[in-house]
Structure 1
Amino acid sequence: MFGYVNTDKSLPKEKRGLWQAFMCSLCFSTKEIFGNFPRMLITNDVNFFNVLFHGILQIDVQTEKTRCVSSPVVKRTVIKRDELSDKLAAANVILSYWNVYDDVVDGGSAKKKIALALMHKAYQKAQKQWSELDEQVKEQYQRLRRTEQSQCKVIDEVCHSFATLSQTFCRLTLAEKSSEYAETLCYNVGKWIYLIDALDDLEKDVKQKNYNPFAACMDISCAADAQKHEAEIRFLMYAVLNRIAQSYNDLNLVKYTCLTDNVLLHSIRQRTEQVMSKITQTEKKNGL
């Protein structure tokens, strides 16, 4: 379900370097605390929260030039690990573990099962470090599974668990510095992630007869059905995107906004259009 939140190509090269520098801080934190393998699990989604939370907390990051496994010859500018990046490294391990676990329960591939086994040691350590987050993530994934298994036909109800997971992640990370605006933003980012993943998988899910909220809530079973509901789907997606933009603007951030602006006001809208285009492209097919 991860992989949709990222910067887009319109981000200037020097700003893309800042995004990468934030990613490096997560990578160094992960290596120091959990070892090398979990570094492979770092997602752009969690890096977005890394940038966002540093901005909300108005943390002045420190940089240095260093070599690493991805740049062994040329020194690159990285952001030094700090307390927040350490915290988010633990969060990334927990979120990745439960995401892969969910895939395995769904009948995931042998690769997923191997990955889950390899993650277990790091997960146990992260679980001890941040047990409250782990409990909340586990609870919301279990609630989501129950909702999907019931073939729920109310789309807001289906989205609620993953949206709440994102909101709770925000609240636990920011603690007393959390706010209604920040939590509303993260709730809707989580909702968008769930919906865009479901929309992206619509064709595959219908073919394989897997649960999909769009198929269940709109009785979509073929290409013609999806096309009939294109306007409804677009309205739903942009309602969430507009709530994201409103909550984000209400935060009035001043730090690292070149990155958060790009992600929240441009990139996820562009990604939505890319996935939406799959519906119109099905006109050339006989069915989903």
Structure 2
Amino acid sequence: MFGYINVNTCNLSEKEKNLYEAYYYGIVKELRSRIGIRQRIVFRSDMAFLNILLEGIYGTRTKKEKYNLLRFAPFKIVSKKVVYRGKITEYVAEMNIVLAYHNYLDDWRDERCICKKLFCDCLKKEYLKIVKKYPRQIKVIEKNLMQLSIYEKNGEDNIELVSQTVGEMVGEIFAWKEDQYYEELKMLGFYIGKLIYILDAYVDFEYDMKKKLYNPLTKIREDAGSKEDFESMCKIFMESLKQECSKIYVKLPIFMHNEIIENVLYSGIMYDLG
């Protein structure tokens, strides 16, 4: 994940903010119980949305717990947080570890930064356990990450083709179980995955051009002519993907947390772009 799947807090009530935070820190606590302080190099805020989405559909029994959140600057402060944890939290935390492992592995291969290698190594044992538990998801993730790497090394400029790899990967992660919700969740994840990949490329475009780095939007920028036309084309493209997400969302039997889920889908993901 890229850190773009967030809530727009301006449009949430205090009750909804507290609920979102309870799931957010539930994942943090789950990771902490599994890998200790390594959770600091693993946790991605995007995963809170997946937790809430799956809970809204499956309604699995979650435990209400307390979590002592430590802060170290300027003094050591302990704040008690109410958190929710359950089977879905476990799954989301495990997928979080998988994505972090591959992210650091990819960075090590590209940058040869020794700290990324160390991060990768310290997650490997936990990662191998998850491989055995979720072979379907891992197979799709590894296959598409490999294909994405090939596209990037070859300078592939077909944004549909490149973003599809991330879409398929995120889609398989969203599909927790192979049941009656499998296809819809997979397609929702597919379009969200494509959207956040293109959004990430859009946000990084100017930097990538200055540093002469790969960016899949290069051809679109060349074809657009002006910067304004390029921005308009990208935003229209991303908006169309958001609309596809909305079409699938209304088909899902979500009976809890609708307000938070809709907040993310309709105003959270692209909120920073204005």
Q: TM-score normalized by structure 2? A: 0.87
Name the structure 1 match of 2:6.
6
The alpha carbon displacement at 1:220 in A equals 7.1
CA distance in 2, matches of 1:66, 1:142: 38
Match of 2:104 in 1: 100
In 2, the alpha carbon distance for the partners of 1:229 and 1:196 equals 13
Letter in 1 for 2:64: T
Q: For residue 278 of structure 1, what is the aligned residue in structure 2?
A: none
> What corresponds to 1:84 in structure 2?
88
Please give the alpha-carbon distance, in whole angstroms, between the structure 1 residues aligned to 2:61 and 2:259: 15
Residue number in structure 1 paired with 2:203: 200
Deviations 1:74-131 (A, max 9, x none): 433111x322211221111001111222223232645433422333333233334333
* In structure 1, C-alpha distance between the alignment counterparts of 2:216 and 2:130, rounded to whole Å: 31
For residues 124-203 of structure 1, what are the structure 2 equivalents within 5 Å? 124-171=128-175, 173-203=176-206
Q: Separation in 2 of the partners of 1:108 and 1:18?
A: 40
Aligned length: 269
Does the Cα contact within 8 Å between 2:195 and 2:238 map onto a contact in 1? yes
Structure 1 contact 198–213 (Cα < 8 Å) conserved: yes
Contact 2:144 2:168 in 1 (8 A): yes
Q: What CA distance in whole angstroms lies between the structure 2 residues aligned with 1:107 and 1:74?
A: 38
Letter in 2 for 1:105: R
Match of 2:250 in 1: 249
CA contact (8 A) 2:4 2:46 kept: yes
Matched residues in 2 for 1:36 and 1:66: separation? 14
| CA distance in structure 2 between the partners assigned to 1:2 and 1:229 by the alignment | 22
1:75 to 77, 80, 86: 80
Amino acid at match of 1:78: V
Supply the AA of the counterpart residue of 2:258.
T
Q: Distance in 2 between matches of 1:39 and 1:230?
A: 35
Per-residue deviation, residues 37-96 of structure 1 (Å, max 9, x unmatched):
1354111111211111111213343313453546974433111x3222112211110011
Aligned residue in 2 for 1:46 = 47
Q: Do the aligned partners of residues 151 and 216 (structure 1) sit closer, same or farther apart at CA in structure 2, a change above 3 Å counting? A: farther
RMSD: 2.4
Change (3 A) 1:109 1:204: farther
Greater Cα shift, 190-199 or 124-133: 124-133
SS of the residue 2:82 aligns to: strand
Q: Are the counterparts in 2 of residues 22 and 47 from structure 1 also a CA contact under 8 Å?
A: yes
Q: Is the 8 A contact 2:2 2:196 kept in 1?
A: yes
Three-state SS of the structure 1 residue aligned to 2:157 is: coil
Distance in 2 separating the partners of 1:39 and 1:126: 19
Question: Structure 1 residue 238: deviation in Å?
Answer: 0.8
- Are residues 1:115 and 2:119 paired? yes
Task: Give the match's secondary structure for 2:68.
Answer: strand
Deviates further, 189-198 or 120-129: 120-129
Compare 144-153 and 33-42 and name the one that shifted more: 33-42
Displacement of 1:188 after TM fit?
Answer: 0.6
Query: Quick one: percent identity of the two aligned structures?
Result: 24
The Cα of 1:23 is off from its aligned counterpart by 1.9
Gaps of 5+ in 2: none
Contact 1:167 1:183 (C-alpha < 8 Å) held by counterparts: yes
Does the 8 Å CA contact 1:66/1:77 hold for their aligned counterparts?
yes
Partners of 2:60 and 2:86 within 8 A in 1 = no
Q: Distance in 1 between matches of 2:15 and 2:139?
A: 39
Aligned residues of 1:163 and 1:186 also touching (Cα < 8 A): yes
Q: Report the more deviating stretch, 128-137 or 86-95.
A: 128-137
Residues 233-272 of structure 1 mapped to structure 2, 5 A cutoff: 233-271=234-272
Q: Structure 1 pair 115/220, CA: closer, same or farther in 2 (3 Å)?
A: farther
Select between 56-65 and 208-217 the one with higher mean Cα deviation: 56-65
**Residues 25 and 83 in structure 2, CA contact (< 8 A), matched pair in contact too:** yes
